[in-house]
Structures are given as structure tokens and as C-alpha cells.
Amino acid sequence: MAEKEFKRVFIFLDTDKHASPFDILTTVDIFPEAEILKYEEVTVEEAEQIIHDAMFPRGPEGAKHTKVFINGRDFDRANEILQRIQKSLFPPFELSIIIDPRGAYTTASAAVAKTLELLLKNDLGGFEGKAVTVLAGTGPVGQTAAWLYGSEGADVTITSRSLQRAVSLSARMNKELGSERVSGAEAQSPHEVGRAIAGADIVLSAGAAGTMLLPVAALKEFGKKCSVVVDINAIPPLGVETLASDADGVKILPRVFGIGALAVGKLKNKVETELIRQAADAPKGTFDYKKAYETAKRIVIEKLAAKKPAKPEPAKQWLPG
């Protein structure tokens, strides 16, 4: 008897009223033959029941072809859903799970990897010992990026309109990282933003769309040490004044290089595509911000290696006889 062929199925679990078409369309473009199932306004309990119902009907082999994509703006609930699903899986019924709450994980991974690319391209070294300020660092993209910068050896300051929220989140991150690399700061006024970036080598503006967080005057006055500025906001007014959304390593001040939101977004889309492919090929596993950053970092390192000029061969010496 011929071995049964199973159709690839992606189950989208979204915390929002309407599931994002972005990730669904991305998946369909990669795997046009795949079946897409979507569930919206999903609670933690409902997600567990949906996954229980998805684990068994096609048997262990069919489970290898069933993929889960957790999404939604409710960052905390998305992660609670992930934890509940992980606990409910057991051999041989294990599924591949992608989690990227409204693109936060792939966007943050791309922003950090683009920072690294620019540092290495300009011979500014890696992240070890660098000071990084993440403006609006308590949001989904900001806190993910802060964790990644910290995991790479940078000292990170995360800002928020609430000092208590910034300090609480930084304490949690330090516990996860096993270090004291992350600190919190309040930043509501331009002057407070300026104080938060004073001494920073890198600044990431991770605010909401259409919100300008870093005036160029504050960058000039306080960012004396700054060499890289990154923005994830592509909707005017942009997050960093004078930094164009399509900027990719351009100088915005004499010693400051900038990366705009569209440059970050271009890498983000590549990372998400690869993450979906990795999950599709794997019989099980979780594809989260760590996998996303691992992928983003590999892409930029390979890009830099491809552009590096080959060393000329040593001239052959002429020997008599």
C-alpha cells in the first residue's frame, strides 16, 4: 500500500477580532497549495482545545504536516497561548509552532540584525560593551529588541512614559538574561528623551506608527557618542526626525548612520519567509524571536561576506632555472 500523502495545513490563532492578512498572504505565497485555517479572538483555553482537535485526526505523520501560527496585538496573551500549547503537546503528536505577535518578533530581529550589519560594515565592532537606548522599549518590538541587544552583550536602557513600567520590565529581562545589563528610564518630554540617549552608541526608536520620538535637536545635543540610529516607524511623522524611511546606512549627522523603517521591513519580510519555511520543513519545534534573530543575523553576515573583496593571491616569485 502506498504511503499516504498529507496536505500541509497552517492553523492561525489570532488574539484580535480580525486575523492579520499580512502573515496569511505571506504563507499562501510561499505554499499556495497549503490549507489555511484561521481562528480569531482566541483565548488561551480555546487555543488549547483547537490544538487538541488538530493533533489527532491525521495521526502522528499528519501532525508533522500541521503547523500553528500564533498572532495578535495582545502580546502577553499570544505568549500565554504559546506556553499552553507547548504544555499540551506530547510525542508523537507534536506540531511546529510559529509565534510572531503582529510582526513584533521578526521586526525586532531585523532591527537588531540591521544594527549589527551597519556596525560591522563601518568597522565599529559588535554589540559587546556597546550602550543601547530603546525608545518606547516596553512595547512588543521594543522589549524584544532590548532582550536581543542584551543577549549580545550590550548595555540597554529601555524607555517608557511610565518609569515604573520601564523599571519593572528591565528587572524581568535581567532575570531572564542572568545579568544586570538592562535598565529603565522615563521619557516623555524631548529633554527626557535626550537624557535617555546620552552616552548611547545605538538608539532604536520602537514607537507606534505615526509617532515621532527622537527630535534631531535632541540627537545633536545629547547623542554625542551615538553612531547608529534605527527607526521602525514608516508612517509620518517618522520616529526619528530627518531619518528617511528608506535610509539604509546613510549619514544623518556627521558621525551618525541611520537605518529607516523600510530597510528594516525589507529584512523583516525575508526573516518571516524563512521562518515559515523552517517551520514547514520541521516536524516539530517552536519558531520564535530567538529563531527569528538567528535567521536575521545569518542573512546579514552572509550578505557582508558576499560583498567582502577577495584577498589577492600572492605574486609568484620568479626562480631561475
CA distances from 46 to 9, 37, 100, 203 (A): 19, 15, 19, 40
Question: Could you list the pLDDT tens digit for every one of the 321 residues in the chain?
Answer: 446 789 999 999 999 999 999 999 999 999 999 999 999 999 999 999 999 999 999 999 999 999 999 999 999 999 999 999 999 999 999 999 999 999 999 999 999 999 999 999 999 999 999 999 999 999 999 999 999 999 999 999 999 999 999 999 999 999 999 999 999 999 999 999 999 999 999 999 999 999 999 999 999 999 999 999 999 999 999 999 999 999 999 999 999 999 999 999 999 999 999 999 999 999 999 999 999 999 999 999 999 999 877 666 655 554 444
The CATH number that domain 9-103+269-304 falls under is: 3.40.50.10280
DSSP per residue, 14-54: ESSSS--HHHHHHHHHH-TTSEEEEE-S--HHHHHHHHHHH
Homologous superfamily (CATH) for 107-266: NAD(P)-binding Rossmann-like Domain (3.40.50.720)
Q: 94: part of which helix (H) or strand (E)?
A: none
Q: Where are the domains of the chain?
A: 9-103+269-304, 107-266
CA distances from 246 to 59, 209, 217, 224, 293 (A): 48, 15, 21, 24, 21
Q: Which residues, including other chains, have CB under 8 Å from residue 56's CB and lie 6 or more apart? A: 63, 93
pTM for this prediction: 0.94
